[in-house]
Structure 1
Amino acid sequence: MNASERRALAGLASLYVFRMLGLFMVLPVMTVYGADYRGSTPALLGMALGVYGLSQALLQIPLGMLSDRWGRKPVMYAGLALFACGSLVAALTDSVYGLIAGRMLQGAGAIAAATMALVADLTRDENRGIAMAVIGAAIGVAFMLAAVLGPLLAGAGGLSAIFWVTMALALVGMLLLWRLVPTPESPRRPAVVRGGLGAVLGNGSVWRLASGAFFLHLLLTALFVPLPLVLVETLGLPAGSHWKIYGPIMLGAFVVMLPLMRLAERRGRVREAMLAALFALGAGAGALRVESGFPLLALLSVFFIAFNLLEALMPAQLTREAPAEARGAASGLYATVQFLGVFTGGVCGGWLFNFGGAGAVVVMIFTVLLLWALLWCLLLWRGRTAGTC
């Protein structure tokens, strides 16, 4: 990579870390600390977790396509401003409905598609896989930091402390975008933009990866509905100390994921690695049903190694297989279904936990994994990708 590419990638990866912290920091604490909000129930707290994904899902494709036409950075500035406003609303409320409203407004700052497309704009073809892998790794870093910082901040000042911090991070992100990230010099092509979504919707490889993003984030959000309470009951560890569990697990999972990702990329075994990670997610989700400390921690480690691996591999693969002239639209589709998965996982996980406990959530996770595996095999069998299942 040349100096300009490295500078742009450093700025965008940092922006991704700050942006995703806003999504991830509430996951390990929402169901514990959210119980203090007026009118809260497990189902409504699941809605508060997932509604962020609903507004993201509704706006990713429109904003991704808008970034193809008007430019990436204006869309990203507007999205970061909306995210900061939503954080302010969530920080000031004491009602679960205000929490839901703030999370929905946070999600309206849907810049993931524009950011992924900007990474592609600012890197050459031969470096794009590395760039997207760095972005995927940045998401993993954000998740690791969030798992530690979320419980620490909530322990110090409740959920409102998390939202004050995420508002500040949104403002810092705007500064990074202004100072570090170049504006790409590319002509606007309205005709290409108009046809971009059609080219993406007809691409089976894009759909395979997009469906993976949906299922992966559905599973993650559903897992975190019962997990904080399971840790309290199984390990006897107060919620404010959960960072002592998440920190080593996330760090270890990230360290293990990196060589696995490099190996899959170098040997051309990305699809096989993704399928193996899918089955590892199933094994790791069994952590919700064990009743002793070491097996629980071991299974959680397996889950998060698989999660980080998929979170790094799938976006990089998307930019290789999507039409070059419609990366904004492809990134928009990917981000849309990704955040739709967040919404579905939060709502369904909260509802099932409310009526059937952690066991009902585990049944849902295994069912989703089976559907995911069958769908991927079907798409490969139909010849929409070059590989076979």
Structure 2
Amino acid sequence: MIDKEFTAEERKATLGLAGIFSLRMLGLFLVLPVLSIYAHRFPEATSFLVGLAIGSYGLTQAIFQIPYGLLSDKIGRIPIIIFSTIIFIFGSGLAAYGSYQEDIWILIIGRFLQGMGAVSSVVIALIADLTREKIRTRAMATIGASIGMAFAFGMVLGPWLASHFGLGGVFIFTAILAIISFPYIIWGLPRPEKIVHHDDAEFTGSYLGTVLKDSNLLKMDFGMFTLHMGLTAVFTSAPLILRQFMEVEDLWKVYLVMFLVGLTFMVPTTIIAEKKGLIKEVKILGVIILIISFGLFMEFENQFVPAIIAIIVYFTGFMILEPIMPSLMSRYAKPQVKGTASGVFNTSQFLGAFIGGAVGGYLLKYGFDAVFMFIGAVTFVWLLMIFTMKMPEKLDKAN
């Protein structure tokens, strides 16, 4: 991703911000594969409250990411990143305390505060300040790739940490990751010569109406909402299904295979989508794979090997879709509204994460099938929407 066209300062800024952002996201991803297992043991825990704990960070991320970006235009990027890091560390510490006390309410509050530590919009704005327009997309792609790696490490490392140090230990490790980034944020991050609002990278209120009137962008927002709603809903149930057959310390093996298989499919399908102009076909394939996985979960939730196959199939569909969704959204958006479209798109993602956890947890009291039936139905609606979308001109020409 980082090629010779980057200057030394651009390279330093891109890698530094990618590191900060990926450490933050790693902290959030670490608990995803284990939180459902451990939180259900708390005395006052219900399935709904556990689901709320899983997805609650998404609500505050959705609420704060755009205001943080706009505020950073006025008072600077670094102060907002420092403030959000402090909030994230405090939230992680509170979640750890709630875990050790087995208090589901304190855990939920800690997760809400973790979401308040959202820095995505500010990181994107700072990247825009510190890079030239011609390499900005590649800089942001580098950050996107680092998040993907953070997700993979979180899936594998989270169960190992939880089995040795408990759920509280996972949150303490999350806080340590944020603390490690703190000195670099204060002294190492390059400072822009001046702060400029970039319409192509940041949310601009005057363009909101234009974005919300674009049916293709709205369908992309619904798709991103659905994809991440499914992710948190799956992880309210899938860890509990796997826990029937194996110990927590062995879960990382399943998640490692899951990631490797997903990556094996992600790379060629992304190349086919981008280079061959078949992004619509690849997107349809990914969504169909998700729907198949939900059916497999419903059919084989009580069988060991088929249940593992179901989660591998699910993650394969997720990995096919995750990298092409932002790329396709940016192609629908006109250059001047791209930052606003991205802000709405990312907000939809975070809201999806919240709704998936809350609704998935609520439905779990009716059994695993209810969870997978719900997300399967919403994903099917998404599939129908894709068929009604006209591909952007660049992709039409590629065909």
TM-score for both structures, normalised by structure 1: 0.88
Q: Deviations over 1:27-70 (max 9, x none)?
A: 11112111232311111101111111111122222223333444
Which deviates more from structure 2 when the two are superposed, residues 139-148 or residues 115-124? 115-124
> Which residue of 2 is the match for residue 60 of structure 1?
65
Deviation at 1:78, TM superposition (A): 2.0
Q: What is the CA–CA distance in structure 2 between the aligned matches of 1:46 and 1:238, rounded to whole Å?
A: 21
- Contact 1:60/1:333, CA 8 A, preserved across alignment: no
AA matched with 2:377: T
> Which residue of 2 is the match for residue 92 of structure 1?
97
1:279 to 282, 288, 292: 288
Q: Do structure 1's residue 101 and structure 2's residue 109 form an aligned pair?
A: yes
1:42-81 matched pairs, under 5 angstroms: 42-81=47-86
> Which residue of 2 is the match for residue 306 of structure 1?
317
1:340 to 351, 366, 375: 351
Distance verdict in 2 for CA 1:244–1:135, change over 3 Å: same
> Which residue of 2 is the match for residue 146 of structure 1?
154
- Contact 2:129/2:195, CA 8 A, preserved across alignment: no
Q: Do structure 1's residue 376 and structure 2's residue 386 form an aligned pair?
A: yes
Structure with greater contact order relative to length (CA < 8 Å, sep ≥ 6): 1
Q: Do structure 1's residue 41 and structure 2's residue 51 form an aligned pair?
A: no
Classify the secondary structure of the residue corresponding to 2:170. helix
Structure 1: 5+ residue stretches without partners: none
Classify the secondary structure of the residue corresponding to 2:72. helix
Q: What is the CA–CA distance in structure 2 between the aligned matches of 1:138 and 1:174, rounded to whole Å?
A: 18
> Which residue of 2 is the match for residue 254 of structure 1?
263
**Percent identity over the alignment?**
37
Deviation at 1:342, TM superposition (A): 0.9
Q: Do structure 1's residue 228 and structure 2's residue 239 form an aligned pair?
A: yes
Q: What is the CA–CA distance in structure 2 between the aligned matches of 1:253 and 1:180, rounded to whole Å?
A: 35
2:6 to 2, 7, 10: 2
Deviation at 1:351, TM superposition (A): 0.8
Deviation at 1:26, TM superposition (A): 1.5
Aligned length: 383
Q: Deviations over 1:232-284 (max 9, x none)?
A: 22xx2112321111122213322431232233222233333222211111122
AA matched with 2:159: P
- Contact 2:89/2:175, CA 8 A, preserved across alignment: yes
- Contact 1:64/1:329, CA 8 A, preserved across alignment: no
- Contact 1:136/1:315, CA 8 A, preserved across alignment: no
Q: What is the CA–CA distance in structure 1 between the aligned matches of 2:393 and 2:42, rounded to whole Å?
A: 48
Distance verdict in 2 for CA 1:183–1:362, change over 3 Å: same
Structure 2: 5+ residue stretches without partners: none
Classify the secondary structure of the residue corresponding to 1:80. helix
1:163 to 140, 151, 171: 171
Q: What is the CA–CA distance in structure 2 between the aligned matches of 1:320 and 1:128, rounded to whole Å?
A: 15
Deviation at 1:172, TM superposition (A): 2.5
